[in-house]
Structure 1
Amino acid sequence: MPYVTISTVRGILDAAQKKTLLERVTDLLVEVEGQGNPDFRRNVWVRIEEQEPAHWSLGGMQPTPEIIAGMFGAIGADGVRVARP
């Protein structure tokens, strides 16, 4: 029974991207570990763990929500990415 945790900065993925990521990682585990057996799917756990931007650093820089929104577009209250300005 595989358990996969994907860690990311909050605000990078919108709801549709999370859904796609969960589905595709599950598909991959069914293909590889489950050897293509579709019944293996019910044993696959995939979790997306989001942390606040202040908990991350890349090259010594901490992203802010504004930087993330500028790079990827903000995520609205409905979980859908708002187009970048």
Structure 2
Amino acid sequence: MPYVTISTVRGILDAAQKKTLLERITDLMVEVEGQGNADFRRNVWVRIEEQEPSHWSLGGMQPTPDVIAGTFGAIGADGMRVSRP
């Protein structure tokens, strides 16, 4: 029974992107580990862990919510992307 964890910065993925990512990772695990057996799908756990931007660093720089929104677009209260840069 595989457990897949995806770590990302909060604010980068909207609800639709998360849904797509969860579905496609599941499909990949069925294809690779489950050798294409559709029944294997019920054994695949996929989790997205989101951490605050202040918990990340890239090249010594910490992203801010404003930088993330400016790069990827803002996410509304409903979890959906409301704008793209």
Specify the TM-score bucket, using the shorter chain as the normaliser. Answer: over 0.9
Deviations 1:48-82 (A, max 9, x none): 00000000000000000000000001100000001
1:1-85 paired onto structure 2 within 5 Å: 1-84=1-84
Query: Number of paired residues?
Result: 85
Shift of 1:84: 3.1
Q: Which 5+ residue runs of structure 1 have no aligned equivalent?
A: none
Inter-partner Cα distance in structure 1 for 2:84 and 2:17 = 16
CA RMSD of aligned residues (A): 0.7
Q: Secondary structure at the match of 1:50?
A: strand
Q: Secondary structure at the match of 1:4?
A: strand
Q: Secondary structure at the match of 2:47?
A: strand
Inter-partner Cα distance in structure 1 for 2:35 and 2:21 = 20
Task: Return structure 1 stretches of 4+ with deviation > 2 angstroms.
Answer: none
| TM-score computed with the length of structure 1 as normaliser | 0.98
Percent identity, aligned pairs only?
Answer: 89
Q: Secondary structure at the match of 1:68?
A: helix
Question: Aligned AA for 1:15?
Answer: A
Inter-partner Cα distance in structure 2 for 1:53 and 1:82 = 19
Shift of 1:15: 0.1
Q: Secondary structure at the match of 2:24?
A: helix
